[in-house]
């Protein structure tokens, strides 16, 4: 339908399907955005939307605590099972502890880890946001505790798999997963992650590159202390960790930029605002082939929200044209930690 009659209101059955009363909507045409979302939400819906946006902007204490514990456990498993037994000083507080315990044989690796973490926490208190530092302090303590407990329960003195390369890969996967989960919740796994957060906050270095800068000295020291073979594995591990951490972070933070062209843009707009508690940008355009005026709705959603939108579009307009673009770098209200 063309945008010809400025006085025509959408039919009542058209609006009721979207949960909108006719008196609430401006003139609704096929191919034109008309509903002002701020007029659709009840006061209670507005309050619920504000609470949801606040949760998106700042992860809950429970979510952050779970993420920090999971990250610390994964890093502790990497250290006890793969790093320490093979002298894989690929970086981080764990790598520094391995180097220090090698230079000072009388110093147990878990005590060296405690010493390194305490020193790094002091640095974090000066250069990093207090909230992040608080969780980093907790993470550093948890990492040391989990390492001590695991060493007591599962003492490992040699390669678990019998292959240094497999041990290195397993170590990197655990560290990258733990660090990615913690970073995604706005915290860290402690240790040199505090320095990474400081570099990322005060410089333009991406997170993966910041990790490389912080851990390069530790990894390179493996050549001098443990020989060419182990040292090269440490350097390779450091380079691979950069790639893996970036990959994990991108996957955890991935969102969909959804651009919709359909015959029912008002319903799409209402669904995004009311059902998904998101917003959208709507603009008028025209079809190159037909020359007809149409509306384009663009919104940014999580993967699960994008699936809900796709299912909804299939129900109201099977011929809708939709494009999805992956993104992991978003700045704005409702995307604080993305």
Residues 241-283: tens digit of each pLDDT: 778 877 777 777 788 999 999 888 888 888 888 888 888 888 8
Q: Is 77 left (phi over 0), alpha (psi -120 to 50) or beta?
A: alpha
Q: How confident is the model at residue 309 (pLDDT cuts 50, 70, 90)?
A: very high
336 contact partners, CB below 8 Å, separation of at least 6:
56, 57, 58
Residues 201-231: tens digit of each pLDDT: 777 766 666 666 667 778 788 888 888 888 8
Using CA atoms, how far apart are residues 12 and 9, in angstroms rounded to an integer? 9
When pLDDT is averaged across residues 92-113 and rounded to a whole number, the result is 84
Using CA atoms, how far apart are residues 335 and 322, in angstroms rounded to an integer? 22
pLDDT of residue 73: 93
Q: Which of the 8 DSSP states describes residue 11? A: P
pLDDT of residue 308: 94
E-assigned strand segments in the chain:
255-261, 281-286, 293-301, 321-327
pLDDT of residue 277: 82
Q: Whole-model pTM?
A: 0.68
Is 23 in a helix, a strand, or coil?
helix
Residues 190-199: tens digit of each pLDDT: 677 677 777 7
Using CA atoms, how far apart are residues 48 and 56, in angstroms rounded to an integer? 12
Q: How confident is the model at residue 7 (pLDDT cuts 50, 70, 90)?
A: very low
Q: How confident is the model at residue 115 (pLDDT cuts 50, 70, 90)?
A: confident
Q: Which residue has the higher pLDDT, 326 or 35?
A: 326
pLDDT of residue 32: 47
Q: For residue 33, is pLDDT > 60?
A: no
pLDDT of residue 321: 92
Lowest mean pLDDT among 27-36, 37-46, 72-81, 288-297: 27-36
Q: For residue 338, is pLDDT > 60?
A: no
Q: Which residue has the higher pLDDT, 131 or 91?
A: 91
Mean of pLDDT over the chain: 78
Using CA atoms, how far apart are residues 221 and 39, in angstroms rounded to an integer? 63
Is 301 in a helix, a strand, or coil?
strand
Report yes or no: 184 and 253 within 8 Å, Cβ to Cβ: yes
Report yes or no: 271 and 301 within 8 Å, Cβ to Cβ: no
Q: pLDDT exceeding 70 applies to what percent of the chain?
A: 76
Q: Which of 68, 110, 74, 73 is nearest to 93 (CA)?
A: 110
286 contact partners, CB below 8 Å, separation of at least 6:
292, 293, 294
E-assigned strand segments in 119-269:
255-261
pLDDT of residue 298: 94
Q: How confident is the model at residue 1 (pLDDT cuts 50, 70, 90)?
A: very low
Using CA atoms, how far apart are residues 259 and 116, in angstroms rounded to an integer? 49
Using CA atoms, how far apart are residues 280 and 273, in angstroms rounded to an integer? 8
What structural domains and CATH numbers belong to the chain?
A: 12-30+254-327 (3.30.70.120), 56-252 (no CATH)
Using CA atoms, how far apart are residues 156 and 159, in angstroms rounded to an integer? 8
Q: Which residue has the higher pLDDT, 52 or 76?
A: 76
When pLDDT is averaged across residues 146-166 and rounded to a whole number, the result is 87
pLDDT of residue 333: 66
Lowest mean pLDDT among 31-35, 51-55, 178-182, 319-323: 31-35
pLDDT of residue 322: 94
């Amino acid at each position: 339908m063309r945008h010809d009659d400025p006085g025509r209101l959408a039919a009542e059955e058209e609006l009721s399907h979207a949960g909108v009363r006719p008196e609430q909507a401006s003139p609704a045409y096929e191919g034109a955005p008309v509903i002002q979302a701020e007029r659709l939400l009840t006061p209670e819906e507005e309050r619920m939307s504000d609470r949801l946006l606040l949760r998106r902007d700042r992860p809950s204490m429970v979510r952050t605590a779970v993420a920090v514990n999971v990250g610390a456990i994964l890093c502790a498993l990497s250290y006890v099972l793969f790093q320490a037994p093979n002298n894989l000083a690929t970086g981080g507080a764990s790598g520094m502890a391995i180097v220090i315990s090698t230079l000072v044989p009388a110093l147990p690796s878990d005590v060296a880890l405690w010493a390194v973490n305490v020193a790094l926490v002091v640095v974090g208190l000066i250069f990093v946001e207090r909230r992040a530092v608080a969780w980093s302090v907790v993470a550093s303590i948890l990492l040391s505790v989990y390492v001590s407990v695991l060493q007591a329960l599962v003492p490992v003195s040699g390669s678990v798999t019998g292959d240094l390369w497999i041990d290195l890969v397993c170590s990197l996967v655990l560290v990258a997963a733990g660090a990615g989960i913690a970073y995604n919740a706005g915290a860290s796994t402690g240790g040199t992650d505090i320095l990474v957060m400081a570099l990322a906050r005060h410089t333009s270095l991406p997170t993966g590159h910041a990790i490389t800068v912080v851990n390069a000295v530790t990894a390179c020291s493996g050549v001098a202390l443990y020989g060419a073979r182990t040292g090269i594995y440490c350097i390779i591990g450091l380079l691979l960790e950069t790639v893996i951490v970036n990959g994990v972070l991108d996957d955890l933070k991935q969102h969909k930029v959804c651009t919709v062209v359909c015959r029912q843009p008002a319903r799409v707009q209402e669904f995004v605002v009311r059902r998904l508690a998101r917003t959208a940008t709507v603009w008028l355009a025209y079809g190159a082939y037909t020359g007809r005026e149409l509306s384009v709705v663009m919104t940014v959603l999580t993967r699960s929200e994008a699936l809900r939108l796709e299912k909804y579009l299939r129900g109201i307009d099977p011929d809708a044209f939709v494009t999805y673009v992956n993104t992991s770098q978003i700045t704005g209200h409702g995307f604080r930690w993305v």
